Amino acid sequence: MKKSWIIIGVIVVIALLLYSSIKGTYNQMVTLDEGVGAQWAQVENVYQRRADLIPNLVSTVKGYASHEKETLEGVIEARAKATSTTIDASNLNAQSIQQFQAAQDGLSSALSKLMVVVERYPDLKANQNFLELQAQLEGTENRIAVERKKFNEVARQYNTYIRSFPKNIYASIFGFEKKAYFQAQTGADTAPKVEF
């Protein structure tokens, strides 16, 4: 009789330890997953800030460079594409992040072309409204870089957690999958050639 109580006690203790381990691991995975989602929302937030600045920038440039219609339309179209490309935080895989990044890169390219056009208009470059918008845009680009870096750090922390043993077993049981990272643009590792 005493042996059976000892066996039952050992089984209960093992069951409680197993339950505690699974519960703690699951809750930590949920916490880290929510952290990735929250950081993704912040990334989208700063990209939205950039998109919100563009109509004012285009309007200001249009007043000085109205015959640059093609460039201005390119910026407007790129903004529309960038703002229409959204990703659900629960679906942050490499393909969806690349799709999002491609739309944002298109907008960055269109803005670069716009800034080249601006160089031809000294009156525009001296306009206080334009200078303020340009400064805000530069600040937003810096925020984007910071938030992307933070996203990659949070995603790395989550990925490391769900891939370590024995958490990887629980992650596969509960359906927690690896999150993708922001990657540098293709060719970003090659220095541009400057020729005189």
- Work out how many domains the chain is built from and give that number: 1
* 158 assigned to some structural domain: yes
Tell me whether residue 74 is in a domain. Answer: yes
Which domain CATH number covers 119? 1.20.1440.20
Q: How confident is the model at residue 121 (pLDDT cuts 50, 70, 90)?
A: confident
Q: Is residue 146 part of a domain?
A: yes
Q: What is the pTM of this model?
A: 0.74
Amino acid 186: pLDDT:
57
Residue 196 has what DSSP assignment? Answer: -
Q: In whole angstroms, what is the distance from residue 195 CA to residue 97 CA? A: 35
Note down the domain range covering 136. Answer: 2-174
Q: Is there a domain that residue 117 lies in?
A: yes
In a domain, residue 194? The reply is no
| DSSP sequence for 14-69 | HHHHHHHHHHHHHHHHHHHHHHHHHHHHHHHHHHHHHHHHHHHHHHHHHHH-TT-H
- Identify whether the C-beta of residue 124 lies closer than 8 Å to the C-beta of residue 118: yes
The answer to whether residue 190 sits within a structural domain is no
pLDDT in tens, 9-29: 899 999 999 898 889 899 999
Residue 66: its pLDDT value, please?
A: 66
